[in-house]
Amino acid sequence: MGLILKHVERTKSGSWRYRRRVPKGISEIITKRDFKKKLGDSEREALAAYPRFHAQVEREIEAAKRGRARSVAPSKAALSEREAYAEALRRRADLIDAGATEEDLEITAEMLSDQYPQDEDGPLRCPQLTVTLST
């Protein structure tokens, strides 16, 4: 009897991969449909790679759940400009910690900006923010 790892499957080519669907409750925060990664060509490689990637996925899911809870807690109208700016930075930092790609960050920024009054130049009364990821 072999060891059974959650979310791990053997592909047709014989390699091992991790595949897990994004939970429905946080699918609006995590914009991809599932987490996928090739763990290796052998069972030994898969066993070595699994704990690290599984932990990364768990952290991303937890961060998204915290972001969801935080986003419904305070009313946007109750936040001052400074508090809203700080909240946006915290959300971005959480997404970066969870391993979000540049594309994920852009999509999240667009969704957030749609929640505020806008004119043809973009959101009103929002400071311009430019942050780049370093690898």
pLDDT > 70? residue 32: yes
The domain boundary residue, chosen from 10, 25, 57: 57
- For residue 3, tell me if it sits in a domain: yes
* Axis-axis angle for helices 81-97, 102-113 (nearest 10): 150
The answer on pLDDT for 55 being more than 80 is: yes
Q: Which amino acid is at 90?
A: R
Radius of gyration of the chain (CA): 19
Same domain, 2 and 51: yes
Please indicate, yes or no, whether residues 79 and 51 belong to a single structural domain of this protein: no
The answer to whether the pTM exceeds 0.75 is: no
Q: Tell whether 50 and 85 lie within a shared domain.
A: no
Could you tell me if residue 119 is inside a domain?
A: yes
What pLDDT score does 126 carry? 57
pLDDT of residue 40: 92
Which domain covers residue 97, as residue numbers?
74-135
Task: Report the pLDDT value the prediction gives residue 75, as an integer from 0 to 100.
Answer: 47
Q: Is the pLDDT of residue 45 over 60?
A: yes
Q: What residues contact 54, with CB distance under 8 A and at least 6 apart?
A: 5, 6, 7, 18
> Does residue 83 have a pLDDT over 90?
no
What distance in Å separates the CA atoms of residue 23 and residue 33, rounded to the nearest whole number?
Answer: 9
Question: Domain for residue 37, yes or no?
Answer: yes
Question: Count of domains in the chain?
Answer: 2
Q: Tell me, yes or no, whether 9 and 52 share the same domain.
A: yes
Q: Which residues contact 1 (CB under 8 A, 6 or more apart)?
A: none
